[in-house]
């Protein structure tokens, strides 16, 4: 991937039901007008590509949501083929096509169809292999459906099959979490995304004041996860992402963390091209009427540098020391800069930050405290 790769995210804002922890924009009621939606996405995509004032040699697609697998696979495949053909005709190479799939939705024939249309990576929203935990989360699939979905996706020879898992689920225990991890390993997947459950505003968990998972117990689960992922050959490359080899890392997501350009298609999707950030209105109704209202923000050099440091510190490669130094010199007062330097040294002594000649990166213990460390450095 070069810095001349364009990331393209397509948001599919439909869910059959709302999971209890989810704050993403999606609708669950009314009739799902997929055909109309797909036509709007195509036209939005063409407009966005024409508005770009830079040329790109390659692109990645990521179709997420919501639930892309609510769309019948034949319609989704046609959309994917359309988008790819459009770029190939403009000499842009497609280097990755990822689609998020809900376990209960697709059969092996659907996966085969997606593979044929150019999809390279399937990301399955499993979250847990424990039926009680799935019920608590409000997921509409069960453990058996999760097994079947992973097995079927693996049979179709995608470059990568990834599963999303969660820790810190109410009533989750070290045993149930380790079973979930072991089940994932035994199936033979090559990529894992593991997130700690957070109680976000606007979710059912938040509204119902579900108690936060005990912090110490969550740390135990985290340590268990580090041990088991490494024992089974998964290498962490970002706070929440683990791959069994270089070739399985998410190129699309690495593109974000390297601060390369991306466009977002669909309600609530965000584009950042150079210093211009555009956020689509979170309204499917308006989107279907062809009203593409976006809020536009021009990012300042300070914001861009701040984001470059913050995003790169999410990865195990970390950030360049010169960037942090530049930020201190240009945007911090003498006392703030001094404090940031002292904090950096403290974090290093505590084993939260590590350094080599040119880079600074967080340790596994540091990743756990990412949200606390960042404001103390920049």
State the residues that interact with ligand SF4 by CB under 6 A.
15, 18-19, 22, 24, 26, 65-67, 102, 125
Nearer to ligand SF4, 67 or 152 (CB): 67
Q: Whole-angstrom Cα distance, residue 221 to residue 229?
A: 12
Beta-bridge partner residues of 16 = none
How is 117-148 classified by DSSP, letter by letter? Answer: TT--EEEEEEE-S-HHHHHHHT-S--HHHHHH
Tell me how far, at minimum, the Cβ of 362 lies from ligand SF4, in Å. Answer: 27
User: Token pair of 328, please?
Assistant: 């201190």
Nearer to ligand SF4, 24 or 237 (CB): 24
Tell me how far, at minimum, the Cβ of 150 lies from ligand SF4, in Å. Answer: 17
Nearer to ligand SF4, 184 or 319 (CB): 184
Tell me how far, at minimum, the Cβ of 19 lies from ligand SF4, in Å. Answer: 3
Residue located via tokens 């999971």 = 19
Q: How many CA atoms lie within 13 A of 65 on its CB side?
A: 25
How many other β-carbons are positioned within 10 Å of the β-carbon of residue 253?
21
> Are the C-beta atoms of residues 362 and 370 closer than 8 Å to each other?
yes
- Dmax of the chain from CA atoms? 62
> Are the C-beta atoms of residues 308 and 323 closer than 8 Å to each other?
yes
Nearer to ligand SF4, 18 or 232 (CB): 18
Residue located via tokens 């990568």 = 160
Nearest to 354 by CA among 327, 333, 373: 373
Tell me how far, at minimum, the Cβ of 125 lies from ligand SF4, in Å. Answer: 6
Q: Whole-angstrom Cα distance, residue 159 to residue 103?
A: 19
Task: Measure CA 344 to chain center.
Answer: 28
264 Cβ partners below 8 Å, 6+ apart? 9, 11, 270, 271, 278, 280
Nearer to ligand SF4, 164 or 365 (CB): 164
Tell me how far, at minimum, the Cβ of 106 lies from ligand SF4, in Å. Answer: 14
Residue located via tokens 């769309």 = 71
Tell me how far, at minimum, the Cβ of 97 lies from ligand SF4, in Å. Answer: 19
Nearer to ligand SF4, 140 or 258 (CB): 140
> Are the C-beta atoms of residues 313 and 374 closer than 8 Å to each other?
yes
Tell me how far, at minimum, the Cβ of 311 lies from ligand SF4, in Å. Answer: 23
How many other β-carbons are positioned within 10 Å of the β-carbon of residue 308?
20
Tell me how far, at minimum, the Cβ of 70 lies from ligand SF4, in Å. Answer: 9
> Are the C-beta atoms of residues 16 and 70 closer than 8 Å to each other?
yes
- Give me the residue whose beta carbon is nearest to ligand SF4: 22
> Are the C-beta atoms of residues 1 and 252 closer than 8 Å to each other?
no
> Are the C-beta atoms of residues 103 and 126 closer than 8 Å to each other?
yes
- Beta-strand pair 93-101/58-65: parallel
Tell me how far, at minimum, the Cβ of 326 lies from ligand SF4, in Å. Answer: 38
Tell me how far, at minimum, the Cβ of 47 lies from ligand SF4, in Å. Answer: 25
Nearer to ligand SF4, 106 or 327 (CB): 106
Nearer to ligand SF4, 66 or 366 (CB): 66
Nearer to ligand SF4, 125 or 168 (CB): 125
Nearer to ligand SF4, 195 or 331 (CB): 195
């Amino acid at each position: 991937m070069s810095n001349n790769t364009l990331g393209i995210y397509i948001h599919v804002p439909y869910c059959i039901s709302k999971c209890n922890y989810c704050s993403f924009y999606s609708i669950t009621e009314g009739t799902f007008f997929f055909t109309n939606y797909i036509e709007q996405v195509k036209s939005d995509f063409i407009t966005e590509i024409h508005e770009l004032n830079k040329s790109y040699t390659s692109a990645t697609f990521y179709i997420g949501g919501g639930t892309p697998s609510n769309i019948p696979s034949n319609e989704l495949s046609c959309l994917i083929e359309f988008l790819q053909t459009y770029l190939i005709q403009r000499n842009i190479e497609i280097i990755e096509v990822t689609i998020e799939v809900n376990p209960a939705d697709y059969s092996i024939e659907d996966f085969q169809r997606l593979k044929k249309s150019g999809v390279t990576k399937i990301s399955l929203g499993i979250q847990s292999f424990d039926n009680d935990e799935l019920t608590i989360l409000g997921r509409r699939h069960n453990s058996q459906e999760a097994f079947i979905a992973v097995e079927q996706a693996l049979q179709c020879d995608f470059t990568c099959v990834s599963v999303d898992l969660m820790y810190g689920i109410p009533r989750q225990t070290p045993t149930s979490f380790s079973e979930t991890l072991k089940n994932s390993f035994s199936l033979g997947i090559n990529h894992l995304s593991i997130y700690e459950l957070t109680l976000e505003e606007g979710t059912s968990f938040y509204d119902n004041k579900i108690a936060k998972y005990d912090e110490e117990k969550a740390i135990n689960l985290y340590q268990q996860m580090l041990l088991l992922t490494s024992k089974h050959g998964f290498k962490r490359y970002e706070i929440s992402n683990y791959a069994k080899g270089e070739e399985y890392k998410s190129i699309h997501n690495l593109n974000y963390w390297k601060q390369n350009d991306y466009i977002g298609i669909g309600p609530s999707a965000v584009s950042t091209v150079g210093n211009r950030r555009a956020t689509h209105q979170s309204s499917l109704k308006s989107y279907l009427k062809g009203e593409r209202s976006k809020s536009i923000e021009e990012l300042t050099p300070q914001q861009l540098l701040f984001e470059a440091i913050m995003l790169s510190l999410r990865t195990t490669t970390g950030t360049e020391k010169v960037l942090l130094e530049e930020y201190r010199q240009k945007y911090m007062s003498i006392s703030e800069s001094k404090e940031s330097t002292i904090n950096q040294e403290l974090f290093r002594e505590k084993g939260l930050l590590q350094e080599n000649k040119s880079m600074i990166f967080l340790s596994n213990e540091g990743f756990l405290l990412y949200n606390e460390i960042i404001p103390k450095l920049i």
